[in-house]
Structure 1
Amino acid sequence: MAPAIDKFKEIGKAALYVSGPSQWEPKVNYSPETYPGKFYGISSKEFVEKYKKIYAKDPSYHAAGGYTAGLVLQKAIEDSGSLETSKVKKALDNMDVYTLFGHIKFEKAPYHGRQEGHKMVIVQWQEKQNKLDKEIVYPKETSTSNYIPYNKKF
């Protein structure tokens, strides 16, 4: 079981200070305030709130990534001013923007597709008010807590 999965906390105290990567977390703070002038779309917080209103649970990274895929296509169409494939591709090649899913920037190779901008978040299980809580410790600009080295606690 990976540390980013919520069920990880079921192992109890053994989960404490374990960290690992995640594509995206509902707690992450990607917003226009975090990345002024480079942000497109709604903030991650607003996305989570709207998603929870409809589905009564936190969105998975699949939901956030799927929404962002549509958002990126929308931006490419807007930027290109066209639905013509070559113009949309050029807009994608030139895209360098932050969204609720993080940094979006694609390689400029002839066969487009590799996402170069996205950084995974690093989560760490920490104790908050006597319960295990998954905190984001990287990237710093979106972290919800500082990383606590395992050896510092014992």
Structure 2
Amino acid sequence: MRLTVYTDYSLRVLMFLSLRWSGGELSTIDQIAQAYGISRNHLTKVVHDFSRHGLIESQRGRSGGIRLARAPQEISVGQVVRLAEEDFALVECHEPGGGHCAIAPACQLQRVLGQAMQAFLAELDKISLHEAVAHPARAQTALGITPIFVAPRRR
């Protein structure tokens, strides 16, 4: 299984915003695009979509920008992946309508792959955006974010 580029960019945007959370500062799409070296156009779609889902809030205007709509500790990586990925069908028989497999009535693979996907998502649900960055100060430096105080991690 491979997550889409859209999901990768979604996680990057939200992790960037999580690194600026405690300062309450707004970020811009241009800042995020420059920090990661990726297309502004791709990030605009991510920001728009995640604003509609209520994970990002935006302020318009000259001094506007974006930030997380709630604390990064309250947003799981699993939630982000579910919102970003359009399709979790690992094989044809997982698609709506079940595909066209001749052995479907005798096959256990569909059940096992479904359980594996649920286990994968359950693991992603266990980690928040806040926990996804093991070394916040290092990540801030790597992304060109002025370091701000980050509360110690709970274990």
* TM-score, normalising length: structure 2: 0.30
Q: Which has the higher helix share?
A: 2
Q: Which has the higher strand share?
A: 1
* TM-score, normalising length: structure 1: 0.30
